[in-house]
């Protein structure tokens, strides 16, 4: 059986590894439009001081896949073929894990997604450089913390009312901002970028900020261009619980896939979807069930974590055992459906989900 997988990230490699374990005679071809062999992108924003060596973040090859470093131009689901810049390939099963592309409404500045982009940005840095980051989400703040530790002067610009607004509350975001300020990071919320020159960024508050480097981290758009005219698409490539698309023998997973109206955007979810797709491509019975995945921002100075639904009724809580500030979100039955933690290791933050809130552990008061 010949399996083609378009995409060299976590989802694509999880699928390839699963296929190799299920079908020992499989011929697996993995396509990448980057120059590097498949690697994990997660460490790129974690440590600017000691930028990761490519060998240390490369995926362990457990699948005997042939990696083709060539851009896929089109797919033909009727003829079951994939066309790259230089070759045409035929498949029995096709997996699409094309990921997403950073949004850049400013049409200038750098992104921090691929190894090549991140290394180019890192190599141009010097201590005391002035860096402006557009976007106060997880990626932008991870980079801000890393650059601040390197000795750079960092400003984060966020147009909404608070940082991490999709996974935090206004109050916890304020506490986090205070910690970031202590690290020397300047945070501007409710601020829009109006104009950019080669040396200054002009903001909506009639402020101009001098900069040496400008980094854009304002979200991503699923890469679904290959599916146009071939597969059903909405926000992403539409799939069912088996990661099957609208065409026979074609599967999609990871950041490019839309399941039940949602596009995942998280590495853990992408890996889970890749594994399910790999099993189903081999004929095994498997279905994808979304899991509750924590989101984390960690530093030597603090640890922020968010999990589950953070839009329900909210209580502030101080854990009597650990002394950690937590914000607990409960439903009408007082069952915990989500939480935000500041100061607790992320591996411990999911213990309360779907459980009654225990007053004996927490000092709880309504916000």
Residue 21 CB neighbours (<10 A): 15
- Rounded to an integer, the average pLDDT of 80-87 is 96
pLDDT tens digits along 115-174: 888 889 989 999 899 999 999 999 999 999 999 998 999 999 999 999 998 888 888 899
Domains of the chain (ranges; CATH) run 2-33+40-102+220-281 (3.50.50.60), 115-216 (3.50.50.60), 295-366 (3.30.390)
- Rounded to an integer, the average pLDDT of 176-199 is 95
User: What is the reported pLDDT for 297?
Assistant: 86
Grade residue 79 by pLDDT with cuts at 50, 70 and 90.
Answer: very high
Cβ burial of 271 (10 Å; 0-12, 13-18, 19+) is buried
Least confident piece of the model among 90-104, 161-175, 253-267, 350-364: 350-364
Taking 50 as the threshold, does the pLDDT of residue 233 lie above it?
yes
d(CA 200, CA 279): 52
Q: How much is the pTM?
A: 0.90
Q: Looking at per-residue confidence, does 45 or 16 come out higher?
A: 16
pLDDT tens digits along 350-361: 677 787 876 555
Percent pLDDT > 90 in the chain is 61
Taking 90 as the threshold, does the pLDDT of residue 177 lie above it?
yes
User: What is the reported pLDDT for 321?
Assistant: 62
User: What is the reported pLDDT for 347?
Assistant: 53
Taking 60 as the threshold, does the pLDDT of residue 310 lie above it?
yes
Helical H segments across 184-339, by residue range: 267-281
- Rounded to an integer, the average pLDDT of 280-286 is 96
Q: What's the whole-number average pLDDT of the chain?
A: 89
User: What is the reported pLDDT for 367?
Assistant: 47
Measured CA distances, 279 to 9, 24, 239 (Å): 18, 13, 15
Measured CA distances, 276 to 22, 129, 150, 234, 243 (Å): 12, 45, 40, 21, 7
- Rounded to an integer, the average pLDDT of 235-245 is 98
Grade residue 42 by pLDDT with cuts at 50, 70 and 90.
Answer: confident
User: What is the reported pLDDT for 357?
Assistant: 72
User: What is the reported pLDDT for 323?
Assistant: 66
Helical H segments across 163-321, by residue range: 170-182, 267-281
User: What is the reported pLDDT for 172?
Assistant: 86
């Amino acid at each position: 059986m010949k399996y083609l997988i378009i995409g060299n990230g976590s989802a694509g490699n999880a699928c390839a590894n699963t296929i190799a374990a299920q079908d020992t005679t499989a011929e697996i071809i993995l396509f990448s439009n980057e120059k590097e062999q498949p690697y994990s992108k997660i460490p790129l924003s974690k440590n600017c001081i000691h930028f990761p060596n490519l060998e240390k973040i490369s995926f362990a090859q457990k699948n005997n896949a042939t990696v083709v470093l060539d851009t896929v131009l089109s797919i033909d689901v009727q003829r079951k073929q994939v066309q790259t810049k230089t070759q045409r390939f035929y498949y029995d099963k096709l997996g699409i894990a094309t990921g997403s592309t950073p949004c850049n409404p400013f049409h200038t500045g750098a992104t921090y997604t691929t190894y090549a982009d991140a290394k180019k940005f890192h190599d141009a840095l010097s201590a005391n450089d002035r860096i402006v980051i557009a976007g106060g989400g997880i990626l932008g703040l991870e980079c801000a913390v890393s650059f601040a530790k390197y000795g750079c002067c960092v400003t984060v610009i966020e147009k909404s009312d608070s940082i991490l607004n999709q996974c935090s509350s206004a109050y916890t975001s304020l506490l986090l901002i205070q910690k970031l300020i202590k690290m020397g990071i300047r945070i501007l919320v409710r601020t829009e970028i109006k104009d950019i020159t080669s040396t200054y960024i002009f903001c909506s508050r009639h402020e101009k900020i001098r900069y040496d480097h400008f980094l854009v981290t304002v979200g991503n758009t699923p890469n679904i261009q290959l599916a146009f005219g071939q597969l059903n698409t909405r926000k992403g490539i539409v799939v069912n619980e088996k990661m099957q698309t609208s065409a026979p023998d074609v599967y999609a997973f990871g950041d490019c896939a839309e399941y039940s109206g949602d596009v995942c955007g998280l590495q853990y979810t992408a890996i889970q979807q890749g594994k399910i797709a790999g099993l189903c491509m081999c004929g095994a019975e498997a279905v994808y069930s979304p899991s509750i995945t924590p989101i984390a921002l960690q530093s030597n100075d603090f640890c922020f974590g968010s999990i589950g639904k953070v839009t329900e009724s909210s209580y502030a809580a101080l854990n009597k055992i650990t002394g950690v500030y937590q914000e607990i979100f409960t439903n009408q039955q007082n069952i915990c459906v989500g939480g935000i933690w500041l100061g607790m290791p992320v591996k411990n933050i999911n213990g309360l989900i779907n459980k009654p809130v225990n007053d004996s552990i927490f000092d709880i008061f309504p916000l």
